[in-house]
Structure 1
Amino acid sequence: MTTDVLVVHGGAPLHGEIRVRGAKNLVSKAMVAALLGDGPSHLYDVPLIRDVEIVRGLLELHGVKVTDGAEHGELVFDTSNVERANVDEINVHAGSSRIPILFCGPLLHKLGHAFIPDLGGCNIGGRPIDFHLQALREMGAVVDKTPSGLDITAPNGLHGTKFELPYPSVGATEQVLLAAVRAHGVTELRNAAVEPEIMDLIAVLQKMGAIIKVHTDRVIEIEGVSRLRGYKHRPIPDRIEAASWAAAALATQGDVYVRGARQADMMTFLNTYTKIGGAFEIEDPGPNSIGGIRFWHPGGELRATALETDVHPGFMTDWQQPMVVALTQARGLSIVHETVYESRLGYTEALNQMGATIQVYRDCLGGTPCRFGRRNFMHSAVIAGPSKLMAADVVIPDLRAGFSHLIAALAAEGTSRVYGVELIKRGYEDFEAKLAALGASVERG
């Protein structure tokens, strides 16, 4: 559809200021957590993105009254009339997001039953939900697979358990947290994810009355309680969006101030940004300012580097794609080893089409072998630069790759047509207005 095409006139630096709001990877989970509370919840700084619309729709289908609060970006959740939703109405959301799987615990506690439609999300690898289902089963859930989704019950309620994740999955950690806070007894989760968004979800649950201890060595202990109240919470800023704009500033030789970006959540990214030759300046929050980070290209040549994605506190997998676009402008050979998702380098084909020189490999090209080693996954890349990027017509395959293609189009000489830009709306609020604020020349095709 022509309305899903963005025409990008590239070759000009981005200059100006934009703002990031609450983290996509926390906001949607905090919305689900509201189901657990007996009273109203208030979530602030909520971005207007597609994932928020999907979760809001699912909550409303289950009887939650969701209203806009007095403050811009505030949502209020009234859970006093939670009810079972119509399966056909739930299935309307099938394939649109992976968030529905996290409804299991809250719905089991509220209703004793949960129906989860077929899941969607970005096509970046298998992303199985086996860890989720195994944890729920060990807590007493009964999972029946039907042609249209998963029918889950808990005949005797959920109870605490000891569970170790084979891999520190963010989604599975969230699943256990949301299910265990009102389960009977104590749950001990080992090899848990400890991303900033996980810590922020724990903060939300603690405000609701949950008892959660975070120990060393990725161990989280949850002591179940019988009731939870509503919450008032302002989420951490979106560190993925902040890094995306930072990479755009570097790739276009620009200067972008990202209001709301926070140093504490981006330290690993900032180290890499400095190593390759980018510059940044941090403004801490003050009495009259939320603070932010200014990112810019200081001139001269960027330097090639080697990086591996990893779970927190490593280099975030969602930072990899926009950063690779910037690395196409660095002198030398850069090496990227993707260890989180096995199929996240397919987007490099479009970059090569635009003039980049990127070769992908099945081998582990990082410092240590990963779980994808010796398997038939192209999960390492070598980027030779600097490359002069030229305009092309590209099709967006997934959310983060989509923004990376957009960055490449902005950096390239000439006019590109980027197809499938609606996918970007899943995680980037009002990105077209932000591009305009930074001086980009873009228009709908």
Structure 2
Amino acid sequence: MSQKTETPQSTTDATDGLKQDARKAAARVGLTSDEILINGGRPLRGRIEVRGAKNLAPKAMVAALLGKTPSVLRNVPNVSDIRIVAGLLALHGVQITRSDDPGEWHLDPSNVEQAHHADIDAHAGSSRIPILFCGPLLHRLGEAFIPDLGGCRIGDRPIDFHLEALRKFGAVVEKLPSGISLSAPDGLHGANIELPYPSVGATEQVLLTSVLAKGQTELRNAAIEPEIIDLICILQKMGAIITVEPNRVIFIEGVEELRGYDHRAIFDRNEAASWASAALATRGDVFVGGAKQEEMMTFLNVFRKVGGDFDVHDDGIRFWHPGGELKPVTIETDVHPGFMTDWQQPLVVALTQAEGTSTIHETVYENRFGFTDALNQMGADIEVYKDGLHDDARRVKRREFEQAAVITGPSPLSGAEIEVPDLRGGFSYLIAGLTAEGQTRVTNLGIISRGYENFIEKLRLLGADFVYEG
């Protein structure tokens, strides 16, 4: 007699937590159903628009806390992370109004106040954005609190970089059962900080904290992603003095006060790359309105190497499959200006249709290939090497925790029932369903709404064949 295998309680709790996160995220942006049935095999064709970057807009909203006058942020996407930040700002007394112009938000920080810990915890959900409230709130109130942090389950993303930087500015950090409490009894002062890795989040933390700190801050090994530069542009509009030097060095001279800003957020290059990958995988033709060439040059090079084609226009970029066989590639993810880790997951689906063997070395997150299990279930041939692969031709320095995925194709995909594990992996599942023969049921859609605005409507605009009861 076979023995029944019970699912570990920790695994069950994690799965239930993921589903709860997905439902909350879906509700924030008006998704009434958490699943979609996709009938694959139809090329995506048409035009969609991308708005402000999910990796910039929430941070720009946090920056409004630093100003003494109201701020206006335009081109804001309707994604659940924006709703989380708006809720947290409102808890701290920021008055938020939305203009009749879609995507325009007005933020008035005149009456900032400390929020209750329980309310912060309830509103933060799985987002990691609350950590960036610390510097601005320490300047405005002298104290801050952040709950346990969530985010996509793609690997360990410790906040040690953030906390160590805040300590160097003079913050007192106290870890509580409910989260982390911070205070600045003597105010914050400039600091010399060198990051062990050019972390985007830690760079944002230093920028948001240093602009009002007394004296000068020198940040070495900083992230220089386009979204970071856009945040620096916002802070400069507010009155900050920030100099970006070569070799990832940023100098910030603290000022006495900052004013509000009026800014149009940079476009979401991750969403643009995702739709480009969908066009390639489905042998389609998609015009991504709002996409810009400069911020996507590394992606565009790889897209062309794989066999895709594109045209750059003033108002966007057209991506299409020109016919013929797709070609295998070797990719190493890296911080900007390298190939972004957020680009590889959607592209993996297209690479399952390439003639030959592709290899992806993932150097940024240590657990970002979990989504490939479902693709293999659909017929893909993807082998994940959890300890990475040796490659003498590597350009990116090997990291101890990195993994590698080897994709052999072309592999016909067949419909299946799959559950979204994380943001980019979730969009990859949509692409897989659109590429596969037969019907695919994708659940946990709310996770995708964290970073993809109105994706159901965009699928309709591109002629996808699907059923969504929402």
TM-score (norm. length: structure 1) = 0.96
- Alpha carbons 1:93, 1:117 under 8 Å: kept: no
1:399 partner amino acid: L
1: distance between equivalents of 2:389 and 2:159? Answer: 25
- Alpha carbons 2:334, 2:396 under 8 Å: kept: no
- Alpha carbons 2:88, 2:124 under 8 Å: kept: no
Q: What does residue 433 of structure 1 align with? A: 457
1: distance between equivalents of 2:335 and 2:390? Answer: 17
Q: Secondary structure at the match of 1:47?
A: coil
1:403 partner amino acid: F
Q: What does residue 19 of structure 2 align with? A: none
The offset of 1:369, in angstroms, is 7.1
Deviations 1:99-139 (A, max 9, x none): 00000000000000001011111001100000000000011
2: distance between equivalents of 1:10 and 1:48? Answer: 27
TM-score (norm. length: structure 2) = 0.91
2: distance between equivalents of 1:363 and 1:292? Answer: 36
Quick one: structure 1 residues 76 and 369, their matched pair in 2 at CA, closer, same or farther if it must change by over 3 Å? closer
Q: What does residue 227 of structure 1 align with? A: 257
Q: What does residue 239 of structure 2 align with? A: 209
2: distance between equivalents of 1:368 and 1:314? Answer: 10
The offset of 1:70, in angstroms, is 3.7
- Alpha carbons 1:116, 1:150 under 8 Å: kept: yes
Of residues 284, 287, 303, the one that matches 2:327 is 303
Of residues 41, 59, 62, the one that matches 2:92 is 62
- Alpha carbons 2:352, 2:409 under 8 Å: kept: yes
1: distance between equivalents of 2:179 and 2:123? Answer: 11
Q: Secondary structure at the match of 2:167?
A: helix
2:388 partner amino acid: D
- Alpha carbons 1:249, 1:256 under 8 Å: kept: yes
Aligned-residue sequence identity (percent) comes to 64
Quick one: structure 1 residues 369 and 213, their matched pair in 2 at CA, closer, same or farther if it must change by over 3 Å? closer
1: distance between equivalents of 2:92 and 2:123? Answer: 13
Q: What does residue 334 of structure 1 align with? A: 358
- Alpha carbons 1:310, 1:317 under 8 Å: kept: yes
Mark the runs of 5 or more structure 1 residues left unpaired by the alignment: 285-290
Of residues 247, 263, 268, the one that matches 2:277 is 247
2: distance between equivalents of 1:131 and 1:34? Answer: 23
The offset of 1:88, in angstroms, is 1.1
- Alpha carbons 2:152, 2:422 under 8 Å: kept: yes
Q: Secondary structure at the match of 1:123?
A: coil
2: distance between equivalents of 1:217 and 1:311? Answer: 13
Q: Does 1:12 align with 2:42?
A: yes
Superposition RMSD in Å: 1.2
The offset of 1:326, in angstroms, is 0.6
Q: Does 1:385 align with 2:415?
A: no
Q: What does residue 143 of structure 1 align with? A: 173
1:17 partner amino acid: R
- Alpha carbons 2:422, 2:447 under 8 Å: kept: yes
Q: What does residue 3 of structure 2 align with? A: none
Q: Secondary structure at the match of 1:349?
A: helix
- Alpha carbons 1:342, 1:372 under 8 Å: kept: no
The offset of 1:89, in angstroms, is 0.7
Q: What does residue 388 of structure 2 align with? A: 363
1:330 partner amino acid: A
2: distance between equivalents of 1:280 and 1:418? Answer: 29
2: distance between equivalents of 1:408 and 1:12? Answer: 12
The offset of 1:442, in angstroms, is 1.6
Q: What does residue 122 of structure 2 align with? A: 92
Map 1:71-220; keep pairs closer than 5 Å: 71-220=101-250
Q: Secondary structure at the match of 1:93?
A: helix
2:365 partner amino acid: Y
Q: Secondary structure at the match of 2:149?
A: coil
Deviations 1:15-71 (A, max 9, x none): 000000000100000000000000010000101100000000000000000000242
1: distance between equivalents of 2:225 and 2:321? Answer: 28
Q: Secondary structure at the match of 1:3?
A: coil
Map 1:258-407; keep pairs closer than 5 Å: 258-284=288-314, 291-361=315-385, 362-366=387-391, 367=394, 370=397, 372-373=399-400, 375=401, 379-407=403-431
- Alpha carbons 1:337, 1:365 under 8 Å: kept: no
The offset of 1:384, in angstroms, is 0.2
